[in-house]
Amino acid sequence: MNSDFVIGLHIVGFLTARGGEPLTSETLAETYGTNPVVIRRVLSKLKHAGLVETRRGVGGGSVLARSPSKMNLRQVYEAVSETPELLRRHPGEESGVADVLSEYINDLCADAEEALMRKLAAVTVKQMDATVKPQICRILSRMK
Amino acid sequence: MNSDFVIGLHIVGFLTARGGEPLTSETLAETYGTNPVVIRRVLSKLKHAGLVETRRGVGGGSVLARSPSKMNLRQVYEAVSETPELLRRHPGEESGVADVLSEYINDLCADAEEALMRKLAAVTVKQMDATVKPQICRILSRMK
DNA sequence: CCTTTTGTAACTACTTGCGTTACATTAAGG
DNA sequence: CCTTAATGTAACGCAAGTAGTTACAAAAGG
Q: Running along chain A, 144 residues long, what does each successive block of 10 average in pLDDT?
A: 90 93 96 96 98 97 98 96 59 60 77 83 96 79 63
The percent of residues in chain B predicted with pLDDT above 90, rounded, is: 58
3-state SS assignment for residue B72: strand
Query: CA(A80)–C1'(D13) in Å?
Result: 24
Q: Which residues pair with A64 in a beta bridge?
A: A52
Mean pLDDT across chain B: 87
φ, ψ for residue B23, nearest 5 deg: -115, 140
User: What's residue A58's pLDDT?
Assistant: 96
Angle at A28 between CA A138 and CA A30, to 5 degrees: 75
User: What's residue A25's pLDDT?
Assistant: 98
Threshold 0.85, pTM exceeds: yes
Q: How do residues B39-53 score in pLDDT, each as one tens digit?
A: 999 999 999 999 999
**B102-125 burial code (b ≥16 CB/10 A, e <16):** bebbbebbeebbebbbebbeeebb
- Return d(Cα A120, Cα A76) in angstroms, integer: 9
User: What's residue B86's pLDDT?
Assistant: 58
The percent of residues in chain B predicted with pLDDT above 70, rounded, is: 85
Chosen from B72, B116, B133 to mutate, greatest number of chain A CBs within 10 A: B116
Report residue B74's pLDDT band, with 50, 70 and 90 as the boundaries: very high
Mean pLDDT over residues B128-132, rounded? 93
Residue of A nearest to B115 (CA): A112
Chosen from A4, A30, A73, A101 to mutate, greatest number of chain B CBs within 10 A: A101
